[in-house]
Amino acid sequence: MDFKNEIVTLLSKVINDLSVEEINDLIEVPSNPQMGDFAFPCFKLAKVFRKAPNMIASDIVEAIEESNMFSEIKQVGAYVNFYVNKQKFIENVLSTGQLSEKLSDGNGKTIVLDYSSPNIAKPFHIGHLRTTIIGNSLYNIYEHLGYKCVGVNHLGDWGTQFGKLIVAYKKWGSKEEIEKNGINELIKIYVKFHDEAEKDSELDDEARAWFTKMENGNEEALDLWQWFKDISLKEFKKVYNMLDIEFDSYAGESFYNDKMEDVINELEDKDLIKISEGAKIVLLEEENMPPCLITKKDGSTLYATRDITAAIYRKNTYDFEKCIYVTAFDQNLHFAQWFKVIEKMGYDWSDKLIHVPYGLVSMESGKLSSRKGKVIYLDDLLNESIEKTKKIIEEKNPNLENKDKIAKDVGIGAILFNDLYNNRIKDVVFSWDKVLNFDGETGPYVQYTHARASSVLRKANYDMNESKDIDYSLLTDDLAFAVVKTLERFSNVVRDSANKLEPSFISRYVVDLAQDFNRFYHNCPILVDDVKLRDARLKLVYNVKVIIKESLNLLGIKAPEQM
C-alpha cells in the first residue's frame, strides 16, 4: 500500500496536463503536520488553466475521488493537502517487517566506485578520511538498492615520487629501520629528500632517472618499489580494519602500465592527439577547458592517461551502469577533461562516469599541512577518539560490559558521523567537543538511542517472531504517529541519497528518527500493564531499532546494543 502512489493515481485522473512523473515529483511532505501528511502545490498549473493556484486547488478537491486511504483531502491556499488514514498508514508501515530489507531498484546492475586511493609510502592522514568514508557509504547505499558494487582502491603506486624515495633510501635509508618502523621511516627519508633537494637540485634529476629505470623494467628499481608498496599496504590495511572497510580491488596506477600504449594508439588513430612542444595532448578549446595532457615530451604518462585507460578497462571488465570517483573538489577540472576525452573517443558510456567532489577537512587549530611531514595520521586520530570515549564510559557507566569494543564502535562512529552529517561539498572543521557530544546531532547520540531501544526490548523480553495481534489504533497519537511517518520515509531517503550521491541525507534522517523516538520514549511509557498498548508500542520500538541500525550501517557505523 503506497500512499504517495495512490495520490498520484487520484490526481492524474483530474489533471490531464501533467504526466504521472511530473505529478509524482511535485508532491511534498509538509513540515507542519497540521498541513497534512502530503501536499500537492498548484502553482505550476496556473499558466495552463489561467486561474489563480488557490482556485485550481479548490477545483481539484471538488473533482477528486474519495479514497479510504485518506481521512481528509482539502484545499489550503494553493495546495491540495492529503491527510492519511492513520490506522491504515501505521499498519502498512509496521506490519510487513520489511522496512529495512534491500530494494530491487538496481536489478543487479554494476556500480564501480573508486575511492580512498592513498599514495604509497605516504602517511594515511585525516585528509584521506573523506574520500574513504564517503565512498564506502555510497557503496553501502547502492548495495541496499540492489546494485552489485565493486569498490576499487586506485592506489597511487606509480610516479616520480618513487624515484625520490629510491634516492632517499640509497642515501639515508636503513633496511633494518624501515623493517622496524615501517611507513614512518619511509616518510622520514622522503621528507629528508625534499629538504635536501631544496639545497641540491641534482637530487631531482637522480630521482627522475630512477623512475625512468622503473618504467624501463629495471629489476633493482622494481624490487625496491614493490618493497615500499608492501610496507605501505600493510599500514593502510590497519586503518581499513579499524574502519571495517574492505575493497574488491586494489588495482592502482601501476596496474595500467602495460595497457596505456593501446589507448594512446587509439587516441592517435581517432585523430585526437596533437603535438605541443613534444608533448601529446587532446585539445579541449571548444569545451572552454585547457588541453588534456596525455604524455610529456619525454614520453612518460600522466594521471589522465592512467584514468582514461582505467575507465576503459573497468567498462570492459565490469560493464558498469555507473563508475563513480570520490575525490576532492579541487580535482574537478582533471575529471571534466578526461571525461570529455572519453566522449571524444566515441564511447557512448562517457555520461556514466561521475565525479563526486567533496570539501576539505581541517582541525580547529587550522589547515592541514603535508609536504613537510606535519600531518595528523588517521590511525592516531581514531585511537585518540577511542581513548576519549573510553574515559566518558568510565565516568558515565563504569560497569558496562565489553567497554573496549563499545569505546571503539562509538569513538570511530563519532568521527565518521561528524564527517557524513555535513553536505559533502562543504568543508568540515573537526572539533572534539562536537564530535563526542552524546546530546547533539552526533553519532554518539544516535548510537545511544539505538542502545536505549535495545534496552527496552531486552527488558520486555521481546521476540519479533512471536505472532501478536497488534491494535494499530493505539499508535495514532501525535508522538507515535510522528515516529511512524519518519520510519516510512526510510526507503525514499536511501533513494534520494543515491540519486544525489549524498550520504548526509541518511545521517540527517537518522537524527530525525532518533529525535522523534526520544520524544515518544519520554512521553509515552512503553512497558505498561495494558498488554495491548504494551505490544503496540514495543512493535514501534523494534522497528525504530531496526531502521537506526540499518541507517548507521549505510554510513559504515556500528550500532551497539548497550552504552
pLDDT of residue 263: 97
Mean local confidence (pLDDT), 249-262: 95
pLDDT of residue 374: 58
Which of 430, 387, 426 is closest to 410 using CA atoms? 387
* Cβ–Cβ under 8 Å, residues 159 and 190: no
Instruction: Point out the least confidently predicted range of 144-148, 151-155, 369-373.
Output: 369-373
Q: What three-state secondary structure class fits 23?
A: helix
pLDDT of residue 261: 94
Q: How far, in Å, CA of 208 to CA of 477, rounded?
A: 72
Q: Is the pLDDT of residue 279 over 90?
A: yes
Report the chain's mean pLDDT, rounded to a whole number.
93
pLDDT of residue 435: 82
The partner residues of 151 in beta bridges, in order of sequence, read 113
Identity at 126, one-letter amino acid code: I
Give the DSSP letter string of 99-149: TTSPP-TTTT-EEEEE---PBTTS--BGGGHHHHHHHHHHHHHHHHTTPEE
pLDDT of residue 365: 60
Structure confidence at residue 124 as a pLDDT band (50, 70, 90): confident
Q: What dihedral do alpha carbons 502, 504, 508, 510 form, nearest 10°? A: 90
pLDDT of residue 368: 45
pLDDT of residue 266: 98
pTM value is 0.92
SS3 readout for 454-471: HHHHHHCCCCCCCCCCCC
Residue 379's contacts (CB-CB under 8 Å, 6 or more residues apart) are 124, 238, 239, 242
Interaxial angle between packed helices 219-243 and 403-420, expressed in degrees from 0 to 180 and rounded to the nearest 10: 100
pLDDT of residue 372: 45
Q: Is the pLDDT of residue 370 over 50?
A: no
In the chain the domains, ranked by start, together with CATH numbers, are 3-84 (3.30.1360.70), 160-243 (no CATH), 378-554 (1.10.730.10)
The partner residues of 281 in beta bridges, in order of sequence, read 274, 293
Burial class (CB in 10 A: 0-12, 13-18, 19+), 462: middle
pLDDT by residue (tens digit) across 298-354? 888 889 999 999 999 999 999 999 999 999 999 999 999 999 999 999 999 999 999
How many C-beta atoms lie closer than 10 Å to residue 443's C-beta? 32
pLDDT by residue (tens digit) across 220-234? 999 999 999 999 999
Q: What dihedral do alpha carbons 400, 401, 403, 409 form, nearest 10°? A: -100
pLDDT of residue 245: 97
Q: Which residue has the cell 579541449?
A: 284
Which of 210, 204, 206, 174 is closest to 189 using CA atoms? 174
For the chain, percent of residues with pLDDT exceeding 90: 82
Mean local confidence (pLDDT), 248-255: 95
Q: Is the pLDDT of residue 367 over 60?
A: no
pLDDT of residue 115: 98
The partner residues of 353 in beta bridges, in order of sequence, read 323
Q: What three-state secondary structure class fits 293?
A: strand
pLDDT by residue (tens digit) across 189-218? 999 999 999 999 899 999 999 998 998 899
pLDDT by residue (tens digit) across 269-278? 999 999 999 9
CA angle at 260 for the pair 259 and 265, rounded to the nearest 5°: 110
Q: For the range 390-394, what are the long-range contacts, defined as Cβ-Cβ under 8 Å and sequence gap of 24 or more?
A: 392/436, 392/438, 393/563
